[in-house]
Amino acid sequence: MRHRILIADDSPAVRSALRSLLENAGPWDVIDAENGREAFAKAQELKPDLIILDLVMPDMDGLTAARRISQSLPQIPILLHTMHWSPQVNVEAQKVGVRQVVSKADSRLLIATVQSFLGPATSPGASSTFVTPVEPAAGCDTPAAATGKKDDDRDACRGNDNQAQ
pLDDT tens for 71-84 read 999 999 999 999 98
Residue 68 domain boundaries: 3-135
* 152 falls within a domain: no
Which of 15-19, 52-56, 99-103, 158-162 is predicted with the least confidence, judged by mean pLDDT?
158-162
Distance CA 86, CA 89 (A): 5
In a domain, 14, yes or no: yes
pLDDT of residue 36: 98
- Tens digits of per-residue pLDDT, 32-46? 999 999 999 999 999
Quick check: is 154 in a domain? no
Of residues 70 and 133, the one with the higher pLDDT is 70
- Residue 45: inside a domain: yes
Residue 8 domain flag: yes
Prediction pTM value: 0.74
Question: Which CATH number belongs to the domain containing residue 53 in this structure?
Answer: 3.40.50.2300
Total structural domains within the chain: 1
Nearest 5 degrees, angle CA 135-CA 139-CA 145?
Answer: 85
**Is residue 162 situated within a structural domain?**
no
Does residue 164 belong to any structural domain of this protein?
no
Answer yes or no: is pLDDT of 150 > 60: no
Q: 44 lies in a domain? A: yes
Check residues 140 and 60 and name the one with the higher pLDDT: 60
Q: Which of 111, 82, 83 is nearest to 98 (CA)?
A: 82
